[in-house]
Amino acid sequence: MTYFSTRNASPPASLKTALLDGLAPDGGLYLPETAMPLPEGWEDASSLADLGARVLAPFVADTVPDAEALVRDALAFETPLVRLRDGLFVLELFHGPTLSFKDVGARTLARFAHALLEDGERLTILVATSGDTGSAVADGFAALPGVRVVLLFPEGRVSEVQERQLAIERPGVTPVRVRGTFDDCQRLVKTAFEDDRFRAAGRLSSANSINIGRLLPQSLYYLDAVRQLGGAAPTFVVPSGNLGNLTAGVMAHLAGMPAAGFVAAHNANRAFSDFLAGDDLRPADTKQTLSNAMDVGRPSNAERLTALLPPERLRALVRGTVTNDAATRTSIRETYERYGYLACPHTAVGLDAARRLQDEGATGPLVVLSTAHPAKFPDVVEDATGVAPPEPEALARLRGLPDVAATVEPTLGALYDAAFA
């Protein structure tokens, strides 16, 4: 299988190049030449891992040795479909080790990237994070021989829970706290890629959310939802930021998965929702909201969606909604009052979109993707409901562990001394 760039100005690439480079040389994003085929009987799979073995492993088997074992190991957690009431379901994607859906893509990408390294080849993953991506990538790549992760996060700008997940000691992972903003962290990563000193450390890769290696496994949990529904074609409601999650669902649908449609559920960062309503796609400055993992003003994967489908077909398949912070709080509270269910602020944006669809008389099952565990955002959830989400074992275990992150000024020299010298 070869991978092509959405801008069509780069030569077709191998899976190894697409996974390790992330971005195509023309600045576009990689897509597979043909959709990942759904083999006969995929609905009979027993779990997410089993779907991975039946659908994803054969798709990469010509390149990735032992693909089936790697996929089964990466996806060894459940993605249960929870019924809130007739016709309304939540697909819980937060049962992986770092409690967000980012574990699905990061764990799979890590195993594939490692399997594709030549003997003795070393890989350094340099990643800037403002939240869930960093811990999922660090956890996914930790302890793989030949792979190092350098994790940059902004001092004082991640939540207490997220900081606990980022700054702990993991084999092969160097966390770096940057005295600056998330944009400073991203700038450092970008400039390090162009710097000879950093390149001398071995192959550099970024594992960021535009990597096709993260999207392919994300298609699997959509299949898992349809399997658990017994084959009915649901409308998927996807809390969206950079649109990787939505793109993975649209790719599964184009491969033959039944779906009545999709909803791109946004917070105040509404550029893509406005595009779906008929506007041009206009990038905007990022607005800070309660659902901070969705605070994206220029969603990169819009480029993939428009490469997969012409605008009129995309607009027929995907509808956009916008939910502000006040409505997000209301959604968390009402979901708790009506169903006794605690939702994180991102999931609550999706639940608000689902409520509006049902008020408009939507028929057929609605599946809201739940992207993070409520305990990752305990303050917002407790403010809205009066109830503190119980802390899962995966977070409780991190309490009291030493913080090993080096703290650096936002300069390339300081980053080099702290993590590469």
User: Which residues bind to ligand PLP, rule: CB under 6 A?
Assistant: 100, 102, 132, 209, 239-245, 293-294, 346, 371-372
Which C-beta is closer to ligand PLP: that of 100 or that of 328?
A: 100
Residue 322 DSSP code: E
- Say how far apart CA 242 and CA 255 lie, in whole Å: 22
Which C-beta is closer to ligand PLP: that of 31 or that of 45?
A: 31
- Say how far apart CA 382 and CA 388 lie, in whole Å: 5
- Say how far apart CA 127 and CA 207 lie, in whole Å: 7
Which C-beta is closer to ligand PLP: that of 57 or that of 243?
A: 243
Q: What's the closest the beta carbon of residue 259 comes to ligand PLP, in angstroms?
A: 17
Q: What's the closest the beta carbon of residue 299 comes to ligand PLP, in angstroms?
A: 7
Q: What's the closest the beta carbon of residue 194 comes to ligand PLP, in angstroms?
A: 25
- Listing DSSP states for 34-69 in one string gives S-----TTGGG--SHHHHIIIIIHHHHTTTSTTHHH
Which C-beta is closer to ligand PLP: that of 45 or that of 106?
A: 106
**Which helix (H) or strand (E) covers residue 140, if one does?**
helix 132-141
- Residues 125, 94: contact at Cβ < 8 Å? no
Tokens for 380, please give them.
């917002």
Query: How far from 368 is each of 83, 140, 166, 254, 356, CA to CA, in Å?
Result: 10, 25, 28, 20, 13
Q: Which residue has the tokens 């006969």?
A: 40
* 3-class DSSP assignment, residue 266: strand
CA 39 to chain centre: 25
Which C-beta is closer to ligand PLP: that of 64 or that of 210?
A: 210
Q: What's the closest the beta carbon of residue 271 comes to ligand PLP, in angstroms?
A: 12
Q: What's the closest the beta carbon of residue 416 comes to ligand PLP, in angstroms?
A: 29
- Residues 94, 124: contact at Cβ < 8 Å? no
Tokens for 152, please give them.
């940059």
Tokens for 235, please give them.
């409308």
Which C-beta is closer to ligand PLP: that of 6 or that of 242?
A: 242
Q: Which residues pair with 264 in a beta bridge?
A: 238, 320
Residue 384 DSSP code: H
Q: What's the closest the beta carbon of residue 289 comes to ligand PLP, in angstroms?
A: 11
Which C-beta is closer to ligand PLP: that of 180 or that of 239?
A: 239
Q: What's the closest the beta carbon of residue 146 comes to ligand PLP, in angstroms?
A: 27
- Residues 324, 349: contact at Cβ < 8 Å? no
- Say how far apart CA 387 and CA 129 lie, in whole Å: 29
Q: What's the closest the beta carbon of residue 348 comes to ligand PLP, in angstroms?
A: 11
Which C-beta is closer to ligand PLP: that of 154 or that of 410?
A: 154
* 3-class DSSP assignment, residue 250: helix
Q: How far apart are the first and last CA of the chain?
A: 39
Which C-beta is closer to ligand PLP: that of 84 or that of 104?
A: 104
Q: What's the closest the beta carbon of residue 109 comes to ligand PLP, in angstroms?
A: 14
- Say how far apart CA 129 and CA 91 lie, in whole Å: 25
Which C-beta is closer to ligand PLP: that of 148 or that of 346?
A: 346
Which C-beta is closer to ligand PLP: that of 100 or that of 205?
A: 100
Q: What's the closest the beta carbon of residue 252 comes to ligand PLP, in angstroms?
A: 14
Q: Which residue has the tokens 């290696």?
A: 213
- Say how far apart CA 111 and CA 145 lie, in whole Å: 11
